[in-house]
């Protein structure tokens, strides 16, 4: 499967700015773009100091969404433009861009903003599944940090919840040890797990866009949800009935498990403060992080021992890219622009080089990598960096690019041997 299908570029992250810069503005994005540009102009006038935000208040906001559906959302205002455009965050963690034209009513309640409880979020996810025309009944499994709403049966949902929790703990432990302070998610983390690819395609098309249905699973940056389907349910196989069944079936398809881990890593990264949703996070970095963590560990019940190991399929892709110079993207291109991720003929190189670069930096220059991550963490939402800004920021931490590129390729040839 082509890496480009791992996730739909437009839905996986709030790539509004990068799409703006690359000029590849899709239908839905163009609707958002109006709001984005409005907010960008004046956002900093409202909340100029991230360290000292005003206490969040619950606002009930009524607006027509991009599909002309009238919605009333209980939310907090993250950004407000002078012309009245808003970036809202709902109690389920979903982000909404509202233009002045879409806005109908704004009711300041005076109450404080509270995320939905895990149980409330589970009920909301179940309603969404039903509203999208999926007839299979849902079951909700709540774990310490996740809410898994599934049509794939309780056993599979519980197995997912336990995998996600193990990854959560390993992810946080890794960054604590690296000296990067992250926070626990303010919101329970939503996952929708459909029983098969057909239901997944139906849900993904309505939740996001038709091209989302092609992915084997994805994290939706606007809605904060991960959307997956039961990987053990092949067209000619019976659903797994026990955790042992699930494990046996999944061991035969490690690529599929890597997809799940990859998408959960995106969700953890965007909810722990490693990245900020709708900030201009370089794509090589967000994808590189997800691939750094995606090597599954199904062996251990409690730990997660594979973080930082060579990602064999990505290394194979990287080696093949290295052997085909016309496919290899210059490091400067990868750092300055996200465009290669959106082009089918460049996506494999973009993913494998992003993994290799992240792997190299975290293995050989981890303190510098943490310094760089801290600078990316401070990026404001909805402000696009220029290609030059991106390059300057990267080089100010890692030094001159030619030297780094040479060292990187040399070091990579020794990996996996």
Site for Zn ion, rule CB under 5 A: 7, 287, 290
CB of 72 to Zn ion, least distance (A): 33
CB of 3 to Zn ion, least distance (A): 9
CB of 221 to Zn ion, least distance (A): 10
CB of 7 to Zn ion, least distance (A): 5
DSSP states of 181-243: -----SSPEEEEEESSHHHHHHHHHHHS-GGGGGSS-EE-TTT--EEEE-TT--TTSPPP-SH
CB of 289 to Zn ion, least distance (A): 9
Q: Which helix (H) or strand (E) holds 344?
A: helix 344-364
Work out the burial of residue 393: count CB atoms within 10 Å of its CB; fewer than 13 is exposed, 13-18 middle, 19 or more buried: middle
Nearer to Zn ion, 2 or 48 (CB): 2
Nearer to Zn ion, 351 or 394 (CB): 351
Structure tokens belonging to residue 65 = 């969404």
Q: At what angle do helices 154-178 and 254-271 cross, to 10 degrees?
A: 60
Distance, CA of 272 to CA of 145 (rounded, Å)? 12
Nearer to Zn ion, 138 or 259 (CB): 259
User: Which of 282, 301, 312 is CA-nearest to residue 394?
Assistant: 282
Distance, CA of 273 to CA of 277 (rounded, Å)? 9
Assess contact for 316 and 351: CB atoms under 8 A. Answer: no
Assess contact for 57 and 65: CB atoms under 8 A. Answer: no
User: Which of 255, 283, 254 is CA-nearest to residue 269?
Assistant: 283
Distance, CA of 395 to CA of 294 (rounded, Å)? 27
Nearer to Zn ion, 195 or 225 (CB): 225
The CA-CA-CA angle for residues 59, 104, 13, to 5°, reads 65
Nearer to Zn ion, 63 or 351 (CB): 351
Task: Name 302's Cβ contacts closer than 8 Å, sequence gap at least 6.
Answer: 166
Task: Name 206's Cβ contacts closer than 8 Å, sequence gap at least 6.
Answer: 132, 133
Nearer to Zn ion, 11 or 43 (CB): 11
Laid out side by side, the sheet with 95-98 consists of: 95-98, 86-90, 70-80, 57-64, 103-112
CB of 6 to Zn ion, least distance (A): 6
| Nearest-CB residue for Zn ion | 290
Nearer to Zn ion, 249 or 262 (CB): 262
CB of 320 to Zn ion, least distance (A): 20
Nearer to Zn ion, 218 or 398 (CB): 218
Assess contact for 166 and 260: CB atoms under 8 A. Answer: no
CB of 234 to Zn ion, least distance (A): 24
CB of 287 to Zn ion, least distance (A): 5
Report CA torsion sign: 25, 28, 31, 34.
Answer: negative
Q: At what angle do helices 254-271 and 243-251 cross, to 10 degrees?
A: 110
Nearer to Zn ion, 7 or 385 (CB): 7
CB of 201 to Zn ion, least distance (A): 19
Nearer to Zn ion, 96 or 293 (CB): 293
């Amino acid at each position: 499967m082509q890496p480009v299908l791992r996730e739909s570029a437009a839905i996986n992250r709030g790539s509004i700015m990068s799409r703006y810069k690359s000029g590849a503005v899709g239908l839905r994005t163009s609707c958002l773009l109006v709001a984005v540009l409005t907010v960008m102009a004046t956002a900093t006038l409202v909340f100029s100091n991230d360290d000292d935000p005003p206490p969040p208040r619950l606002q009930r906001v009524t607006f027509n969404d991009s599909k002309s559906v009238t919605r009333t959302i209980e939310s907090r205002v993250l950004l407000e433009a002078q012309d009245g455009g808003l970036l809202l965050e709902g109690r389920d963690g979903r982000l909404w861009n509202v233009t002045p034209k879409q806005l109908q009513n704004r009711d300041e309640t005076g109450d404080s903003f509270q995320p939905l409880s895990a149980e409330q979020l589970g009920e909301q996810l179940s309603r969404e599944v039903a509203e999208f025309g999926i007839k299979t009944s849902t079951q909700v499994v709540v774990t310490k940090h996740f809410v898994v709403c599934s049509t794939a049966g309780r056993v599979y949902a519980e197995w997912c919840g336990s995998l996600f929790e193990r990854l959560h703990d390993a992810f946080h432990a890794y960054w604590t040890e690296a000296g990067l302070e992250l926070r626990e998610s303010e919101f329970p983390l939503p996952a929708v797990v459909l029983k098969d690819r057909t239901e997944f395609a139906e849900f993904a098309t309505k939740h996001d866009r038709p091209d989302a249905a092609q992915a084997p699973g994805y994290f939706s940056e606007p809605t904060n949800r991960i959307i997956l389907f039961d990987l053990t349910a092949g067209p000619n196989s019976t659903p797994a009935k026990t955790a042992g069944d699930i494990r046996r079936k999944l061991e035969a398809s490690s690529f599929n498990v890597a997809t799940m881990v990859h998408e959960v890593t995106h969700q953890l990264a965007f909810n722990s403060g490693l990245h900020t949703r709708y900030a201009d996070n370089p794509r090589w970095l967000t994808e590189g992080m997800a691939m750094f963590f995606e090597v599954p560990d199904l062996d251990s019940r409690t730990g997660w021992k594979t973080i930082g190991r060579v990602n064999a399929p990505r290394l194979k892709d990287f080696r093949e890219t290295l052997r085909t110079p016309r496919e290899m993207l210059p490091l400067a291109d990868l750092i300055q622009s996200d465009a290669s991720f959106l082009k089918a003929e460049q996506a494999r190189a973009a993913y494998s080089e992003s993994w290799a670069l992240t792997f190299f930096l975290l293995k050989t220059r981890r303190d510098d990598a943490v310094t760089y991550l801290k600078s990316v963490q401070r990026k404001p939402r909805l402000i696009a960096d220029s290609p030059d800004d991106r390059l300057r920021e990267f080089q100010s931490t890692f030094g001159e690019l030619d030297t780094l590129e040479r060292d990187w390729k040399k070091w990579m040839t020794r990996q996996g041997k």
